[in-house]
A and B are shown apart, each in its own frame.
Chain A
Amino acid sequence: DQQVKQNSPSLSVQEGRISILNCDYTNSMFDYFLWYKKYPAEGPTFLISISSIKDKNEDGRFTVFLNKSAKHLSLHIVPSQPGDSAVYFCAAPRANAGGTSYGKLTFGQGTILTVHP
């Protein structure tokens, strides 16, 4: 059961424009979400996160929006730069009726972002 889904395998954007990466989830008990960035043959690096008590979190060029009613979150990168070209994963700590298991993350399939100069 893929509880975190990134339905767009790839996204291509011109340098300076906005990149919007989307993520949908099915488990309404998720209460925290993270975005990771991954370059080829490297480990993912933490980018930004958001708690379910917020609907927006901003860090420099990166903003994450959370729409709990739609079970949807998105990562906005403005302005996009060629160095942003990477795979982006959204992730959420496991959650069930027993509570949230913060140590166990469920990852989406990833979206390959390509920013053209």
Chain B
Amino acid sequence: DGGITQSPKYLFRKEGQNVTLSCEQNLNHDAMYWYRQDPGQGLRLIYYSQIVNDFQKGDIAEGYSVSREKKESFPLTVTSAQKNPTAFYLCASSIQGSAVTQYFGPGTRLLVL
């Protein structure tokens, strides 16, 4: 089955710790995205990548980092600089960066211990 997978489903972070959220897609999509969802708010764009080895900051990139070494993978690292990391993180992809419709993974909920 084609789709987007995110792991883990739940992730716990200790103070001062970096954690990495995985996102993999087998849709052969060029573009991938990371969003954050907080209660009562819409999805906010963290980072996006239109092509391998290239990525751009979104609206709330501070405290996060990404890499795009492979077309199918776009991991997100939540660094210790992100002071309010507790949220639901969603990865998405689209055929191209110019495509309108994005397809989302199931999400990862990050909690701080």
What residues of chain A have their CB less than 8 Å away from a CB belonging to chain B? 4, 6, 9, 32, 34, 36, 41-46, 49, 89, 91, 93, 102-110
Contact = CB atoms under 8 A, between A and B. Distances in A.
Contacts of A108: 42
A36 B92 CA distance: 13
11 contacts: A4-B42, A42-B106, A43-B92, A43-B106, A44-B43, A45-B104, A49-B101, A91-B42, A107-B44, A109-B40, A109-B42
Given A32-B100, A93-B100, A104 B41 contact: no
Given A46-B101, A109-B42, 5 more contacts: A43-B107, A49-B100, A104-B45, A107-B42, A109-B41
A43 B48 contact: no
A89 B43 CA distance: 9
Interface residues of B, number: 32
SS of A interface (majority): strand
A46 B109 contact: no
Contacts of B9: 41
A31 B107 CA distance: 28
A105 B31 CA distance: 13
B103 to A, nearest CB: 7
Contacts of A110: 40-42
Contact of B97 (A41, A103, A107): A103
A108 B40 CA distance: 10
B76 interface: no
Interface in B43-101: 43-45, 48, 50, 58, 88, 90-92, 94, 96-101
B7 interface: no
Given A9-B40, A108-B42, A43 B105 contact: yes
Nearest to B98: A102
A41 B50 CA distance: 26
B4 interface: yes
Contacts of B91: 43
A32 to B, nearest CB: 6
